[in-house]
Amino acid sequence: MPEFPLSTMKRLLRRAGNEGVSRSAAIELSAVLESVGEDIAEQAVRSADNRGVKTVSEEDVRAAVKTLNRPRIRW
């Protein structure tokens, strides 16, 4: 089962410009976001490790996004 609430996924899809959103579309978006989030989290942890700290910072997350070429992510 997806980690993110389906209602939130449906809202994101509707906000992109379409009122009709299927349950399967919401489930798929949740799975994709979870996968991308895991990639970013792993890279952010590596960044913190490389800096010799135990706490992942906002800067580590932003650096991970850039490293993984996710330029469309907005802050």
pTM: 0.80
Model pLDDT for residues 27-49, shown as the tens digit of each residue: 999 999 999 999 999 999 999 99
Could you tell me the residue ranges of all domains in the chain?
6-67
User: What CA–CA distances, in Å, run from 48 to 36, 62, 63, 69?
Assistant: 18, 12, 10, 19
Fold of 6-67: Histone, subunit A (1.10.20)
Query: What is the C-alpha separation between 35 and 56, in angstroms, rounded?
Result: 19
- Residue length of the chain: 75
Structure-token pair, residue 60: 């580590």
Model pLDDT for residues 2-35, shown as the tens digit of each residue: 689 999 999 999 999 988 999 999 999 999 999 9
Q: Read off the pLDDT of each residue in 48-67 and give the average, rounded to a whole number.
A: 95
